[in-house]
Amino acid sequence: MPDTNLSDDMLKLVRYKVLFIKRDYEHAFPEVEEIVHESMDSTSYTAWKIAEFIQTLASKKTEIPKKWKNNYPDNKDDQGNYLYRKNGMLLGFPEDDKKYLRVYYEVLDRYVRESFRYEEDQIDVLKDIREAIRNIKLPGGPSAPYGGETGGSSSGSGTPGAGIGATGGSSSSAPTTSSSKGTSGSKEPA
- The per-residue pLDDT for range 24-51, each reduced to its tens digit, is 999 999 999 999 999 999 999 999 999 9
Find all residues with CB under 8 Å of 109, minimum gap 6, and list them: 12, 13
Decide if 49 contacts 59 (C-beta within 8 A): no
- pLDDT tens for 130-150 read 988 988 877 775 555 555 555
pLDDT category, 19, cuts 50, 70, 90? very high
Closest CA to 138 of 161, 168, 172: 161
Mean residue pLDDT across the chain: 79
Dist. CA 95–CA 125, nearest whole Å = 50
Number of Cα atoms under 13 Å in the Cβ half of residue 159: 6
Other Cβ atoms closer than 10 A to 53: 19
Decide if 115 contacts 9 (C-beta within 8 A): no
Tell me 18's DSSP state.
Answer: E
Q: What is the pLDDT of residue 27?
A: 95
Q: What is the pLDDT of residue 145?
A: 54
- pLDDT tens for 102-127 read 999 999 999 998 877 777 888 888 89
Average pLDDT over residues 17-21: 97
Number of Cα atoms under 13 Å in the Cβ half of residue 137: 5
Dist. CA 105–CA 165, nearest whole Å = 64
Q: What is the pLDDT of residue 182?
A: 46
Would you kindly state where each structural domain of the chain is located, as residue ranges? 11-111, 116-152
Does 89 or 162 have the greater pLDDT score? 89
pLDDT category, 5, cuts 50, 70, 90? very high
Lowest mean pLDDT among 46-55, 78-87, 144-153: 144-153
Other Cβ atoms closer than 10 A to 167: 6
Q: What is the pLDDT of residue 141?
A: 59
**Whether the predicted pLDDT of 67 surpasses 70:** yes
Pairing of strands 11-20, 27-28: antiparallel
